[in-house]
Amino acid sequence: MALNLILPFALSIAVMLSSGPAVADAESAAVELQEAVLALDAGNFSEVVAQHPFIVVEFYAPWCGHCKELAPEYEKAASGLRNNDPPVVLAKVDAYDERNKELKDKFGVYSYPTIKIIKNEGSDVRAYGGPRDADGIVEYLKKQVGPASLELRSAEAAVHSITDKGVILVGVFPEFVGREYKNFMAVAEKMRADYDFFHTSDASILPRGDQMVKGPIVRLFKPFDELFADSEDFGEDALEKFIEVSGFPMVVTYDADPTNHKFLERYYSTPSAKAMLFVSFSDDRIESFKSQIHEAARQFSANNISFLIGDVADADRVFQYFGLRESDVPLLFVIASTGKYLNPTTDPDQIIPWLKQYIYGNLTPYVKSEPIPKVNDHPVKVVVADNIDDIVFNSGKNVLLEFYAPWCGHCRKFAPILEEIAISLQDDQDIVIAKMDGTANDIPTDFAVDGYPTIYFYSSTGKLLSYDGARTAEDITSFINKNRGPKAGAAVGVDDKTQTDAVEEEVTPSSSEPVKDEL
């Protein structure tokens, strides 16, 4: 079966990449945000946001380790920004509190912490893409609240501003007037959260490119690929597309550098096959690996494949998520709609030939699965990737299946309820209550698992329904009895079939709890 792997990972990538020191001990982990950070909730959120033309809001969960690491840095930054001109206000919302669920849903909070920059009374909302330390937060937000583009007047200023730490845009204009300049500034305002913008009337001060050009022209500087690119199309849509395409690396790098984080988020959220090469960056063959993966990206650019090279030293959570082993490094693998394909302990010269075999359809998908239990006689049956067909799809029974994560608080709370349901129905030979660890097994694409716990019901008549009702034994048992197929030996009447079809039309999949409590 095809595999559904990328979406949950895309949602959790920000948490996987969170920087900052580890929590030293339980006491320091309990440090709460202090008075410099405004405490918001559903009752005062709109009022406070309306009072501030520029406000930064952190959506956090009290138990989240990353939030606890961020708390003192966020507090220190808030203190440092209170007297900024113009002022920058930092606030927080407990997104785990059920009373703030509407706020969490409205702002698309799928991981903790999630930070949003909110401007113009809430009409302009942007993701925070900056550092997680106090000094970095302050520097980043001062740029966001100041002019969208700064003028470069000297070679010294250009050298200081155009660094190799990210993508930088410089507009070159004979005069700072006209349609081209106006559109450039509009795009700078719109995209300033992700890129640094500058403008100048003297191209000779710039470090790369044609230094004799008079403009109007936009020069994009980047620390990868061809190092710079020019565009003379000043239509706003065209300019945005130029920045997004030219400002994205041919091969994304997965390491601890925070400037790569926004590329990684976009990489994992793009609907394409993902080719990932993980290797130790201290390997004496690293330059050969980099050269070959870049050449593969050039050769296969038309095959809807996105490319990444990662340092295994920073990829422990990626390996855990995809069920991989560091002993397989150097490891090249592809995640696609047709499955996951692995080429462990590869050499540089194997990269392109192996990818050609993937493109030709000559590779067999790898399925991550826990071992099939030797004994599976508990009331709640254990499903793994290697036995899901036998227990769910081919058993001819009515199966309620929960997808859970071991770290998920909601799943732990639901566990005794699922056990209660299983015990109450264990004498019914036509019903199976089961669970599957979604982090340790590849999930078939038949199931849309965007969060944990996610509950599905597969009837003996072959109908797959998502359960989005109350998580009580009574409600779930009622749902099972209402949607189950006929008991063994019973005849199916017209009324029974009509009722079942009607129920299927009424039940629609929904997004369940966020994909992570914490990774």
Secondary structure of 161-218 as H, E, C letters: HCCCCCCEEEEECCCCCCHHHHHHHHHHHHHCCCCEEEEECCHHHCCCCCCCCCCCEE
- Please state the rounded mean pLDDT for residues 47-59: 92
CA 69 – CA 282 distance, rounded (Å)? 29
Share of the chain above pLDDT 90, in %: 56
For the stretch 282-310, pLDDT in tens is 999 999 999 999 999 999 988 999 999 99
Confidence of residue 496 (pLDDT cuts 50, 70, 90): very low
CA–CA dist 490, 256 (Å, integer): 61
pLDDT at residue 505 tops 60: no
Residue with tokens 């959790």: 12
Tokens of 166: 């990210």
Dump pLDDT digits (tens) for 261-275: 778 888 888 889 999
| pTM of the model as a whole | 0.64
Q: Is 67 one of the annotated active-site residues of the chain?
A: yes
Tell me which H or E stretch contains 341.
strand 339-343
pLDDT in tens, 314-358: 887 777 767 677 888 999 999 888 888 999 888 999 999 999 999
User: Of all helices (H) and strands (E), which one includes residue 412?
Assistant: helix 409-424
Arithmetic mean of pLDDT, 147-172: 92
Q: How confident is the model at residue 494 (pLDDT cuts 50, 70, 90)?
A: very low
Q: Mind listing the domains of the chain with CATH numbers?
A: 38-144 (3.40.30.10), 147-247 (3.40.30.10), 251-360 (3.40.30.10), 381-483 (3.40.30.10)
- Reported as type and span, the H/E element at residue 263 is helix 261-269
Determine the Cα–Cα distance for residues 45 and 37; give it in Å rounded to an integer. Answer: 13
Catalytic residue among 64, 91, 148, 385: 64
Q: Which of 411, 421, 455, 480 is catalytic?
A: 411
| 408 is annotated as an active-site residue | yes
Residue 241 is given by DSSP the state H
Select which of 408, 431, 432, 465 is catalytic.
Answer: 408
Q: Which residue has the higher pLDDT, 21 or 61?
A: 61
| Contact by Cβ (8 Å): 380, 420 | no
